[in-house]
Structure 1
Amino acid sequence: MSETISILAGEAVLLLKQLIAVPSFSKEEDQTAGLIGLFFAKKGIPHFRIGNNIYATNKYFDESKPAILLNSHHDTVKPNKAYTLDPFSPVEKDGKLYGLGSNDAGGPLVSLLAAFLFFYDRPGLKYNLVYAASAEEEISGKNGIELLLRTPSFNPPQRQWAFALVGEPTQMQMAVAEKGLLVIDCTATGIAGHAAREEGDNAIYKAVKDIEWFRSFRFPRVSDFLGPVKMSVTVIETENKAHNVVPSQCSFVADIRVNELYTFEEILDIIKSNVTCDIQPRSLRLRSSSIVLDHPIVKAGLEAGRTCYGSPTTSDKALIPFPALKIGPGDSARSHTADEYIYVDEIKEGIALYVRLLEKVL
């Protein structure tokens, strides 16, 4: 098996270098989708494209069996200005492969693909395997994994999904829970007036009182894996820029990271009962998620010496409506940083561990 893993790792690293060399910002993943499709085509593996998402199924796919989803994303953020290397030049040096998207999530993407290939033509599997390279993950877009899951050819009504492995850089530890993301637009309303006279009702002062509540309030339910709900006010502005006008409106944005012990509806009800401003959630899609610790894939990870933790960051796991485990090679701390990299050995080790986990359930 080790020789097969080594061959697959070589192919995976080569594909990752090709992907790094092509810009694939969210909503602009056309070329990397094409590269992944070409990779499948050269291996004679039937594959399908929906938007900028590419997917394939194992050779002996049987709709009567439940399916395991192997999912990671091929879009990237834009490179930050601190890069000293060309973000689109895949440079391998001192055991590291540098390049935009190498760690987030190119390494997990190609490692999951290699694991899929390992099992692709094996007959008699207990589960089907569905590999999906999705788009728009970095912006939580609706034309990524969500598009796939609402497309009948990918997700027909009769299909049973057992669970998903979501490839993100976790150092191959198991993110069994993930905080949800709730962004709300808040608007405090007053009355305009001239700043030189005792006129108006200053909306900024009203907003400040509510902002102080967001800063100081603590939700009582604290998760063992995800900790407390965290609220941060990140943007504030008024509708006018004149120094001598008492503003009639002040808007601010609250970024709320929600643990699995609260629904978004509960969070919103608590906020509404404590502030005077108008609040409007931007989306209720990116909910917190968790997988039970006695799930077979989690047990397989524990047997392999993996640890469980709660992830503060949001991924496509939030949009998958069945049990999902986030795990992959690389380190989340490197994501979105200048001169992003992944160790080549991390990819080989990631493939081997993905195979080991799947062997336990297949």
Structure 2
Amino acid sequence: MKTLQELTGEAIELLKQLIETPSFSGEEGETALLIEKWFVDHTITYKRNRHNVWAVNKHFDASKPTVLLNSHHDTVKPNNGYTKDPLKSIVEGEKLYGLGSNDAGGCLVSLMAVFTHFYNHKNLKYNLVIVASAEEENSGDNGLNSMLPIIPKIEVAIVGEPTLMNVAVAEKGLVVFDAEVKGRPSHAAHINSNNAIYNTIPVLKWFQDFKFEKTSDTLGDVKMTVTQIHAGKQHNAVPAHVKLVIDVRVNDRYSNQDIVAILQEHAPCDKITPRGLKLNSSSIPIEHELVQAGIALGRKTYGSPTLSDQATLTCPSLKLGPGDSARSHSADEFIYIHEIKEGIKIYIDLLNKVIV
């Protein structure tokens, strides 16, 4: 059996390989092979579904509840601000640079090391299932959501995302709306008292001022933001309509369906339509033994405004991982090597309090 120090070193080397292997959402085939190789090298029985790779602990017992360990191996595409090669792992001091190093490669390799540590343990109180998932960054149809009917039923989940190893006990959901404000099309030279663009002014003010009544103790208020506006094709023609895109970050006091019902009843648009309802808010009771184990280890709890694969889960779940969310999708993305070492230890200490 490998020592924790050996597993940690191997996890860091795997992260370097993952960084140097392109894995944009939907194109994760090569990184899936690297993850498969980890399982082969550590004599772990695994399965693969599309670009999702998963395994259960050696002494899996269907009569016991199951904890899901999950993180993703896809990345966004690098932005134009990079000064370093995003597809090259570069170590400078304690920093490991590279695309996906922080979001969420460090979390993934840490959880893989942790799963490997516990894989051969007998008489665990919980089973473990790990899913190295695809298509998280684009909320695709072939990611963790596609795995839920395939893997064993899960009681609770730990989702690996960069949280500075603090415990996110809730996460906001997301609903994106397409809205339309209509008017009368005309030549710009003619008087038009029904100009769609001018009609949009009070609509924008309404979205700016509207407040959802219910506030969450962990996630605060629902946040609604108009993020896109489009109208017109030429300077001398008043358009027939203005199109808006509205981003709504949903707290755990509302379902996504609640948000749709409220906006379709009250928003002063001619039309407002949600793009999808699957990205729900998520939470775990503060009293849950996993959360309490984290608190006992000195970890802070908080509500996360950012979206992850938690949105696809219906069971209680928490978000926990090495790295800092503020670095995600940034130029010259990096993770500190000591964060990975600390993350693996904290994951193991937390699980030792609950499953051993």
TM category (shorter chain) comes to over 0.9
- The answer to whether 1:217 aligns with 2:226 is no
Q: Which amino acid aligns with 1:214?
A: F
What letter is aligned with 1:300?
A
- The match for 1:311 is 304
- 1:207, 1:277 within 8 Å by CA — same for their partners in 2? no
Matches within 5 A, 1:137-216: 137-151=136-150, 154-155=151-152, 159=153, 161-199=154-192, 201-216=194-209
d(CA) in 2 for partners of 1:175 and 1:209?
A: 37
Distance apart, 1:85 and its partner CA: 0.8
After superposition, give the CA deviation of every residue in 1:176-231 in whole Å (9 maximum; x if it has no partner): 01011110000112221122112473222222221111111122222221111111
1:268 shift after superposition? 2.2
Task: Find out whether 1:58 has 2:57 as its counterpart.
Answer: yes
Q: Which runs of 5+ in 2 are unaligned?
A: none
| Structure 1 letter corresponding to 2:184 | I
Contact 2:180 2:269 in 1 (8 A): no
1:271 correspondence with 2:263:
yes
Q: Which residue of 2 aligns with 1:341?
A: 334
Distance 1:264 1:277 in 2: 21
Report which stretch shifted further, 170-179 or 266-275.
Answer: 266-275
Distance in 1 between residues matched to 2:337 and 2:331, nearest whole Å: 18
Tell me if the contact between 2:42 and 2:116 (Cα under 8 Å) persists in the aligned partners.
no
Matched ranges for 1:68-83 at <5 A? 68-83=67-82
CA contact (8 A) 2:179 2:269 kept: no
The superposition leaves residues 304-336 of structure 1 with CA deviations (integer Å, 9 ceiling, x where unpaired) of 111110000000011111011100000001111
Provide the aligned length of Structure 1 versus Structure 2: 354
Partner of 1:9: 8
Residue type of the alignment partner of 1:309? Y
Distance of 1:205 and 1:279 partners within structure 2: 18
* Residue 353 (structure 1) aligned with residue 346 (structure 2): yes
Aligned to 2:27: 28
AA matched with 1:242: Q
Cα distance in 2 for residues equivalent to 1:185 and 1:230: 16
Amino acid at match of 1:116: F
- Indicate conservation of the 8 Å contact 1:186/1:279, yes or no: yes
Give the 3-state SS of the residue equivalent to 1:227 in structure 2: coil
TM-score, with structure 2 as normaliser: 0.97
Residue of 245, 248, 259 corresponding to 1:256: 248
CA drift of 1:88 comes to 1.1
Q: Deviations over 1:32-53 (max 9, x none)?
A: 0011001111222111110110
Once the two structures are TM-superposed, the CA of residue 142 in structure 1 deviates from its matched residue by 1.3
Runs of 5+ consecutive residues of structure 1 not aligned to the other structure: none
Give 1:88's aligned amino acid: L
Contact 1:201 1:248 in 2 (8 A): no
Give the superposed CA RMSD.
1.4
User: Letter of the aligned partner of 1:352 in structure 2?
Assistant: K
Greater CA deviation, 188-197 or 30-39? 188-197
State the percentage of identical aligned residues: 53
Partner of 2:48: 49
Alignment of 1:244 onto 2:236: yes
Q: CA deviation digits over 1:268-305, x for unaligned, max 9?
A: 22222331320010010111111000001001001111
Runs ≥4 residues deviating over 4 A = none
Q: Does structure 2 retain, via aligned residues, the 8 Å contact 1:175–1:327?
A: yes
How many angstroms apart in 2 are the aligned matches of 1:237 and 1:4?
58
